[in-house]
Amino acid sequence: MSGGLFPRPREVVAPGAVHVPAWLSEERRRELVRACREWARGPVPIRRTVLPNGGVMSVRTVCLGWHWQPYRYTRTAGDVNGARVAALPSWLVEWGREAVADAYGDPAGAAAYTPDTALINFYDGDATMGMHQDKDEHSLAPVVSLSIGDSCVFRLGNTESRGRPYRDVELCSGDLFVFGGASRLAYHGVPKVRPGTGDPATGLAGGRLNITLRETGLGD
Ligand SMILES: O=C(O)CCC(=O)C(=O)O
Ligand SMILES: [Fe+2]
């Protein structure tokens, strides 16, 4: 839990992969939950993504800036309602820069970070995400991941396969995880959410929200 008895130290989990516990202030958590609730309504409503093999993802997803569907980015959500996705707000881009600056201790490098899409995933207690690479982006800029609500096990693997070696990291409400550099194409996933471990003060009564900021590298 984010308000736990023992402080959780920040950790470089693998080269380029940094976990910063409780990075989001309580106020920012609440702001983000409020904003996500709006984005979930539209213009493209939150939904479970259907995979090309007919499988349906257990998380519910809504995108900003660009719409992700397996395995590409488009401006409009052809697999949902055809609408153009909501814009990525500049304040979230700024939070992304702050996140990169804090994770890597490199404010100058972070200033150039310009995410142009956010994927917002909502996990109920049973939702999981299988091991995958974030490789539909044409940029190797870091992925910034923000978590709110229930804790989860986040598995960071290697760049070669879905299997071992991997490290399991507990992501709690407010945590930041950045993966770039040598870990940018590492397989990763969420094998487990821990229901009832969130902080309702964020405005999220249950479940887990994860927001990833990315550079698509697709230009305008
Ligand atoms: O929920 C998470 O922590 C990871 C989400 C993720 O890997 C993704 O959206 O590609
Ligand atoms: Fe991912």
Q: How many CA atoms lie within 13 A of 156 on its CB side?
A: 23
pTM attached to this predicted model? 0.97
50: in domain: yes
* Residue ranges with strand state E in the chain: 11-14, 17-20, 60-64, 67-69, 72-74, 117-123, 129-132, 143-149, 151-156, 167-171, 176-179, 188-194, 208-214
96: in domain: yes
2: in domain: no
| 79 annotated to bind ligand | no
201: in domain: yes
Summarised one tens digit per residue, pLDDT across range 168-216 is: 999 999 999 999 999 999 999 999 999 999 999 999 999 999 999 999 9
Does ligand 1 lie within 6 Å of residue 172's CB atom? Answer: no
220: in domain: no
210: in domain: yes
| 67 annotated to bind ligand | no
Structural domain count, the chain: 1
C-alpha span between 79 and 91 (Å, rounded): 28
Nearest atom of ligand 1 to the alpha carbon of 61: 9
Whether 171 and 154 have beta carbons less than 8 Å apart is answered as yes
C-alpha span between 165 and 158 (Å, rounded): 6
Give the CATH number for residue 41: 2.60.120.590
Summarised one tens digit per residue, pLDDT across range 20-69 is: 999 999 999 999 999 999 999 999 999 999 999 999 999 999 999 999 99
1: in domain: no
Can you give the pLDDT at residue 220? 80
Residue span of the structural domain in which 106 resides? 11-214
Does ligand 1 lie within 6 Å of residue 69's CB atom? Answer: no
Confidence bin at 2 (pLDDT 50/70/90): very low
3: in domain: no
Flag whether pLDDT at 3 surpasses 80.
no
